[in-house]
Amino acid sequence: MPTLKLMFFVNASEVSAGGVRAKMFSQRLPKGWDIRFNYRPAKKWKGILPFIQSALGFRPDIIYVMDTAYTGVLAGRIAKQILGCKLIVDTGDVAYELAKSTGNYSKRQLGLINWIEQMAIKNSDRLIVRGSYHKTLLESQGVQNVVFIPDGVDTLAVSPGDYLSLKTELGLADSFVVGMVGTMIWSERHCMCYGWDVIEALSMLKDLPVKALLIGDGDGRQILEARAKELGISDRAIFTGQLPYEKMLRYLTAMDVCVSTQSNDLVGMVRTTGKLPLYLAYGKYVIATNVGEAMRVLPGIGCLLPYEGVRDALHPTRLAEHIRMLVAEPERIKVAEAAFQVAKENFDYALLAQRLTKVCEDLCDR
């Protein structure tokens, strides 16, 4: 049987979430496959021609575009037309709805995002989505080439680490640590970014030994830090900034509970988010909003809080009340074994790579 040739077009850097997902898949696909990678440069448009040239030199059976940004989608479509190869596009979001919701894009930019997203949907031989509702939604719109492969985690790489020494190092000893991981891109329209609810909830828990550990960066970080200072809780909120993947995993061990807040709209409904599998693999009790894949996997091992719209002003109060209950009843957060099992059965990359192998082999009749 001829070797299957697969080329990834990653719409980000090698260390990005998309880059990690591509690598995780590649390490678990059949050993005989010839797999190559292309990563987008900082100036997005400069990646289009190199992507195409790389494909022309390699002549893959399949081009796999990670995320629906224009660099990879345009290059993938053009290379497919020239070479006659198959095209897979992998997306975790409804890109146009997400961009529209933030309020950070002009009409021209929104038009481009919508055009590229529709191009990806119409020209892909397979469209891989990371949320089960996203699959249902697209199929209801007549798109039939959709496969659900959620965000994943390498459960074999999970290491509990020495969380006590790390807590001491971070000034979190003897504290109940509420953690989150996310990109802090500020939305002027909604006055929020990842972590806004954690900071607001923390201000309602000053009578308890509760601290927050927030991993991530973006233009919203300074705003959240200023808000923490305004609320008088700067000493209770640790902002680490962006961390390398391996270091970020170590920091997860210092968290007692993790927060996963998704908006109750189409943007949130289609998501798994890479954070949820990570939190569960590390045995964490997760406080999530009742949206997306969390609704499917969290009952019994975490908490699903009600949430309304994009920015629910009452959510921080609900979050604070639940954290207060957990501090009073700490036995509730002892879900490590059950949480790990859910991660293994739903999000392990060994399982997800098997699904992707079948998708690729079916496309190439192998």
Which H/E stretch holds residue 169?
A: helix 163-169
Phi first, then psi: what are they for 321, rounded to 5°? -65, -40
Q: Binning pLDDT at 50, 70 and 90, where does residue 365 land? A: confident
Structural domains present in the chain: 5-152+349-363 (3.40.50.2000), 155-345 (3.40.50.2000)
Confidence of residue 271 (pLDDT cuts 50, 70, 90): confident
**pLDDT tens-digit series, residues 67-94:** 999 999 999 999 999 999 999 999 999 9
Beta carbons of 248 and 235 less than 8 angstroms apart: no
What's the burial of 193, exposed, middle or buried (CB within 10 Å: 0-12/13-18/19+)? buried
pLDDT digits (tens, 9 = 90+) for 174-230: 999 999 999 999 999 999 999 999 999 999 999 999 999 999 999 999 999 999 999
d(CA 9, CA 89): 9
Query: Which pLDDT value is given to residue 144?
Result: 92
pTM of the full predicted structure? 0.92
Is the predicted pLDDT of residue 1 greater than 60, yes or no? no
Using pLDDT thresholds of 50, 70 and 90, give the confidence band for residue 308: very high
Q: Is the pLDDT of residue 96 over 90?
A: yes
pLDDT above 80: residue 110: yes
Kindly provide the residue ranges of all beta strands, DSSP E only, lying in the chain, ordered along the sequence.
5-10, 34-39, 62-66, 86-91, 126-129, 146-148, 176-181, 210-215, 237-241, 257-260, 285-289, 303-305
Among 98, 89, 101, CA closest to 129: 89
What lies within 8 Å, CB to CB, of 21 at 6+ separation is: 66, 90, 151, 152, 274
Position 273 confidence tier, pLDDT thresholds 50, 70, 90:
confident
- Please report which confidence band the pLDDT of residue 32 belongs to, taking 50, 70 and 90 as the band edges: very high
Looking at residue 103, what is its pLDDT? Answer: 86
Q: How many CB atoms within 10 Å of residue 182?
A: 21
Average pLDDT value for residue range 235-258: 92
Sequence length of the chain is: 366
Element (H, E) at 140: helix 132-140
Mean pLDDT of 3-26: 95
Indicate if the pLDDT at residue 366 is higher than 60.
no
Look at residue 345 in the predicted model and tell me its pLDDT: 96
pLDDT at position 303 over 90: yes
Residue 179: which of 92, 267, 283 has the closest Cα?
Answer: 283
Confidence of residue 53 (pLDDT cuts 50, 70, 90): very high
Q: Is the pLDDT of residue 244 over 70?
A: yes
What phi and psi, each to the nearest 5 degrees, are found at residue 40?
Answer: -70, 135
Q: For 98-108, write each residue's pLDDT tens digit.
A: 999 988 899 99
- pLDDT for 163 beyond 80: no
